[in-house]
Amino acid sequence: MTTPLTGPEFGSYAADEVSWLLKDLSHLDLEGSIAEREARIQAGLAHYAESLPVEYQPDAAYRELFDKALATTAPRLAQAVGTVTELLLAERGTDLTLVSLARAGTPVGILIRRWAQQHHGLDLPHYAVSIVRGRGIDRAALDYITEHHKPETVVFVDGWTGKGAIARELSAALAEYAASGGPSLSSDLAVLADPGHCVRTFGTRDDFLIASACLNSTVSGLVSRTVLNDDFIAPGEFHGAKFYAELAGDDVSGELLDTVAAEFGDRTPAVAQARQILGSDRRPTWAGWESVEKIRKQFDISSINFVKPGVGETTRVLLRRVPWKVLVRDSHADEHAHIRMLAAARDVPVVEVPDLAYSCMGLIKDMP
């Protein structure tokens, strides 16, 4: 059985905060230009998980904006972390195995672990695993987790929902895993923000800025996006990723965790919010998917995959895809000042759509 990777040998997070169930591909040259990569993906010549985009490194002005955004949103992030953790403990009990979806889910998994440790004295195991749209979740990673932990304790964690593609991917992949002889695992994905109304377990359903979306590996333990490429991953091996040790001088992964954790404070408000959510109708309505389909038709976009809703997904479009337009509900909102800065840097038009269901949406360029 492949063994987990931990920092400082792989990633900048402490070894006790997360175990990466990944294969180290740091020695490989997997990055390609964003435009060439996008063209190959859209032409059906390559899958997005077979390579990596070149990591965008922001200038000083953008870093300053990130610092401001983190300081401003840290209390709200801490509240969402506390709420979703208290919700999990109330509903699932204290015997939990956290499994974050690398890489956006990993800082969130660490923060949930810290809340549980600080307020409940729990030392929850935490793993990061790969899930790939259209290819499913890493089966080798699931085998490892279920051989070491009781399947009923496993909780999958991510940062936020967009239109719900990953929530659907997870549900389908876990059903397939059980059907093929694996243990049954809960597909109830836990996220900080669920603006798409795609999950039952969330800290909030507001579309607000989660600062870890503002950067790439330098806010995610210096670990790349995950890679699933048959040239480098043999059957039975974990999916892969790279550790960008050379970016250590720009790493703010620990700063983000410490800034948010410093706002944890008293757990009473989080407990109250969790109780309120427990007493509400939490069933997913997939309202976000409907609003995305409406925008797709309105702007004559060929695929729903080219519409990325929410602050986090819009940021990703600008950082590592070929953007066409950015739609915003309010062109002066503080929560996406960094998006307007990125859009200006890449000469991407920002269009105000007052009745937008999300705070903003990123539209990917349809490349003929």
pLDDT in tens, 165-224: 899 999 999 999 999 999 999 999 999 999 989 999 999 998 888 888 888 899 999 999
State pLDDT tens for residues 115-152.
999 999 999 999 999 999 888 999 999 999 999 999 99
For the cut 70, the answer to whether the pLDDT of residue 331 exceeds it is yes
Please check whether residue 276 is in contact with residue 84, taking contact to mean a CB–CB distance below 8 angstroms.
Answer: no
Q: What percent of the chain has pLDDT over 70?
A: 99
Mean pLDDT of the region 289-312: 90
Spatial distance between the Cα atoms of 1 and 226, rounded to a whole number of angstroms: 19
Spatial distance between the Cα atoms of 260 and 255, rounded to a whole number of angstroms: 9
Spatial distance between the Cα atoms of 159 and 367, rounded to a whole number of angstroms: 29
For the cut 70, the answer to whether the pLDDT of residue 1 exceeds it is no
For the cut 80, the answer to whether the pLDDT of residue 315 exceeds it is yes
Q: What integer pLDDT is reported at residue 368 of this predicted model?
A: 65
Burial of 297 (0-12, 13-18, 19+ CB in 10 A): exposed
- 75: pLDDT confidence band, cut at 50, 70 and 90? very high
Spatial distance between the Cα atoms of 316 and 220, rounded to a whole number of angstroms: 13
State pLDDT tens for residues 246-292.
999 999 999 999 999 999 999 999 999 999 999 999 999 998 888 89
Q: What integer pLDDT is reported at residue 246 of this predicted model?
A: 93
Strand partners, 136: 132
Please check whether residue 218 is in contact with residue 32, taking contact to mean a CB–CB distance below 8 angstroms.
Answer: no
Helix count and strand count (H, E) for the chain: 10, 15
